[in-house]
Structure 1
Amino acid sequence: MYSLKYLLPILLFFISCGPQSRYTDPQDADASIIEQTKTSEVDKLIRTYADYGEFNGALLVANEGKVIYQEGFGYANMEWNIPNQSDTKFRIGSITKQFTAILVLKLVAENKLDLHTPISNYLSEYPKENAEQISIHHLLTHSSGIPNNFESTKRKAFRPDNYSSRELVDEFSSLPLEFEPGSKFSYCNAGYNLLGHIVEEITGMRYEEALQKVIFDPLEMKNTGFDKHRAQIKNRASGYFESFKTYYNSNYIDMSTVYAAGAMYSTVEDLFRWDQALYSDKILPKNYLDSIFMKHIEDPGYGGYYGYGWSIKDKPLGNSDEVVETIVHDGVIDGFCAIITRIPSRNSAIILLSNIRRAPLNAMTKGIMGILYNKPYDVPRRSVAFAFLDAVNEKGLEKAIIEYKRIKGDPDYYLSEEEMNIASYKLLQADQPEHAETLLRLGIEAFPEAFNLYDSLGEVLMSLGKKQESILNYKKSIQSNPENENGIRMLEKLEAGMEE
């Protein structure tokens, strides 16, 4: 753990040693020294995540309205080694919803929509039975009862360029509601897509045009937009998914199907402009902005409340027992994940964008909040298995074994049976079966009851021509797990071969 309260007295000691210095109480320390220390701590924390392969993206941290850190890590395009930067454009998934909410509230402020009247007032084509029960408020708060998943959407992976919001809405509009509107919270992408369609119907503009006119142009968000697969978008990151430190290109997704629920891209810099605009009336009068951040409905699954396009939740400061109220939303879409956390009580923001489908963004945010509030926080631990794998490739087997023995009990590392198994397969696939055997034996030493390690060792030994040892390890695997069908099958095959 690292904390400003441990570093600050040391810094002040050295400052006091200068010819014109005097002792300064930590509470009265120069703000620039405190800020530099926070910046240094954030950098060290995030670089640790990046070095361990846990973060590939960009982030921005603002404290009391001022950016104290922004940086890119890893690659925007792994095939070409193009680095992520603070102006790299990432898909932001469901963070799009807060922009949709602003468009809707803008129409409410202009008396073109009412939050609490049925949507049948605005959509004559929407099935009346449902439309007369659902209000704009229900859609904004995920309490409409509209099903979130519907089979027709899943089947239509590719759509023509002129695919309309009306066609998208038609896919779910006639489905029975899952519960009475307003009775509970149930996260619903379909509801926000319906809001996008309503915006189009009222304004006469396409959803992306409304975003540009109402939000992006006034706020000079020049690196934010509605993502389209065919468009050439400068500095757009490629999306990936990761499986045990191996990276793959993400699956294709037609952003027209994601629409007003999650089709935007942006940068950490533009999202900070957005964050700061929400403290002003540049887009909406204050009373309408306030309604966006109200606790309209409880979200039991998240442990907080939902406003309009935002969640409101008390979050811990580092790993302390203290909490602070945050306005937050994340976004996840194939190849990308993102989170923006606002702390209105001190005009601070933490923005994390990743072009890998899964990343520990919540843990990273928690650590950064600890730094901002001078509280203790956790740093990530490195995998022993993958450290061994790196050492084998960089230093050879003997030094890798020494490294393994040195770090396996180190609190900065963790040992995982599953990762030991995965790492052994990586070695086997790299035509290094002897190294795989060594790693699996180390794994069995640490996890003597792990049937899967015995099973994998049996496979490795078989590839090395050590059939008797292979049979022995498959037997141990089955002894630990009598339902290990692969072990049973391989053992029968090996024993049959021995008889011949």
Structure 2
Amino acid sequence: MLSKTDIYELVTSLHDNYELSGVVFAKEKYNVMHEAGYGFSNRADELNNNVNTRFNIGNGGKIFTSIAISQLVEKGYFTFHSLLKDCLHYTFPHFDENITIHQLLTHTSGIPDYYDKDTLGDYEELWKDKPTYAFQQLKDFLPLFENGEMMHQPGERFYYNNAGYILLGLIIEEKTGIPFAQYVEENILDKCDMNDSGYFSMDQLPANTAIGYIDDEEKDSWRTNYFSLPIRGGADGGAYVTAPDMVKFWECLFKNKLLSREYTKKILEPYIKITSKEHYGYGLRITKMYNTVFKYHIKGYAPGVSFQASYYPKFHLKLIVTSNQKIGALDVTNAIEDNLTKDISIFFTD
């Protein structure tokens, strides 16, 4: 197991080489192994990031949507095998009628996405001709994909899909009568005492919130990501969290405080094999080594955002890396994992 000194030296070296901008928080069982902020939360005013700075986590917010859906399944509103057409009143003229909740959760529904990385490239390109401030509610995204053609048959394959999670969020709103963000804040964030986290509008960010930055190396300049993301996060991502709050989230999830033991297991089940080692559950990824879970993890990447939240059950280690630039989170996570896995074959086969 890594020591506090090991983690400190690893992160310090990375900071010196890459100029990290964010927070690194590591906790082993009950002991905080590392907690520190790096770089600026506000470059113009040279305000430093600190351990309790809030960060946009991009796609990492999908885990909250999957838990919210699972809570409603547990309460009997519908099942994971219920059909989309039976759970939502909107009409989608070209969607297959056999799409299920399970397929939306696992990115196997085949519906068209509002952001196709294969044709658009960077997520920022999507908003060049669309005012980001116009996307205040989940239903505002529907015109971007509701009349599109299916990409493949339901259940045929994994294809990461933001639109599917927009639909899941709309189902939550329709079944509960509560706006998506309010539901998550009351039924997930509050239950975990994640008091510094929430869904904030980018034009009304609370104090101690990091501004996202996009760097142009050729011009040696930077700009904010204000016009590169929807103004407010939703079911497909965009929540703001602090690193300590994300540790609380992992602890609540694995102590079955958000769902019963039965339904927590459903969140963590490796339903879809993405690579030889990586699988997808409901809103999170599972990495296996030697047929054993090495880590459960959530990641989010977007213009001015990089985020990794990992839990390593064999090591009882929770590692959170938040950043207000597109690089950083993966570098820190990989460096720590490289050290964790030096003798992992002995550890996992013991």
TM-score w.r.t. the length of structure 2 is: 0.87
Residue in structure 2 matched with residue 433 of structure 1 by the alignment: none
CA deviation vs aligned residue, 1:106-144 (integer Å, no higher than 9, x gap): 000000121112111111222265262211100100001
- 2:157 is aligned, of 184, 206, 231, to 184
Per the TM alignment, residue 230 of structure 1 is displaced from its structure 2 partner at its CA by 2.0
CA deviation vs aligned residue, 1:398-420 (integer Å, no higher than 9, x gap): xxxxxxxxxxxxxxxxxxxxxxx
Residue in structure 1 matched with residue 47 of structure 2 by the alignment: 82
Is the contact made by 1:108 and 1:115 (CA closer than 8 Å) also made in structure 2?
A: yes
Residue in structure 2 matched with residue 206 of structure 1 by the alignment: 179
Within 1, Cα distance between the matches of 2:341 and 2:278? 21
Residue in structure 2 matched with residue 171 of structure 1 by the alignment: 144
Residue in structure 2 matched with residue 311 of structure 1 by the alignment: 285
In the alignment, structure 1 residue 340 sits paired with structure 2 residue 313:
no
- 1:125 is aligned, of 73, 78, 90, to 90
Residue in structure 1 matched with residue 191 of structure 2 by the alignment: 218
Higher relative contact order (CA 8 A, sep 6+): 2
Pair 257,176 (structure 1): closer, same or farther in 2 beyond 3 Å:
farther
SS of the aligned residue for 1:274 comes to: helix
- 2:298 is aligned, of 329, 341, 356, to 329
Within 1, Cα distance between the matches of 2:23 and 2:101? 34
Give structure 2 stretches of 5+ with no counterpart: 345-350
Pair 308,287 (structure 1): closer, same or farther in 2 beyond 3 Å:
same
Between 1:185-194 and 1:363-372, the stretch displaced more is 363-372
Pair 174,206 (structure 1): closer, same or farther in 2 beyond 3 Å:
same
Alignment-mate amino acid for residue 332 of structure 1: Y
In the alignment, structure 1 residue 57 sits paired with structure 2 residue 22:
yes
Alignment-mate amino acid for residue 49 of structure 1: L
- 1:273 is aligned, of 234, 239, 248, to 248
Question: Map of 1:248-287 to 2, 5 A cutoff?
Answer: 248-251=222-225, 252-256=227-231, 259-287=234-262
Is the contact made by 1:229 and 1:254 (CA closer than 8 Å) also made in structure 2?
A: no
TM-score w.r.t. the length of structure 1 is: 0.62
Alignment-mate amino acid for residue 232 of structure 1: L
Per the TM alignment, residue 170 of structure 1 is displaced from its structure 2 partner at its CA by 3.9
Residue in structure 2 matched with residue 395 of structure 1 by the alignment: none
SS of the aligned residue for 2:234 comes to: helix
Per the TM alignment, residue 153 of structure 1 is displaced from its structure 2 partner at its CA by 6.2
Counting aligned pairs with the same residue, the percent is 26
SS of the aligned residue for 2:321 comes to: strand
Pair 51,375 (structure 1): closer, same or farther in 2 beyond 3 Å:
farther
SS of the aligned residue for 2:175 comes to: helix
Per the TM alignment, residue 156 of structure 1 is displaced from its structure 2 partner at its CA by 1.9
Q: Which has the higher strand share?
A: 2
- 2:77 is aligned, of 85, 91, 112, to 112
CA deviation vs aligned residue, 1:185-226 (integer Å, no higher than 9, x gap): 000011111111111111111111001110111111011111
Is the contact made by 2:200 and 2:232 (CA closer than 8 Å) also made in structure 1?
A: no
Is the contact made by 1:296 and 1:305 (CA closer than 8 Å) also made in structure 2?
A: yes
Is the contact made by 1:227 and 1:255 (CA closer than 8 Å) also made in structure 2?
A: no
SS of the aligned residue for 2:18 comes to: coil
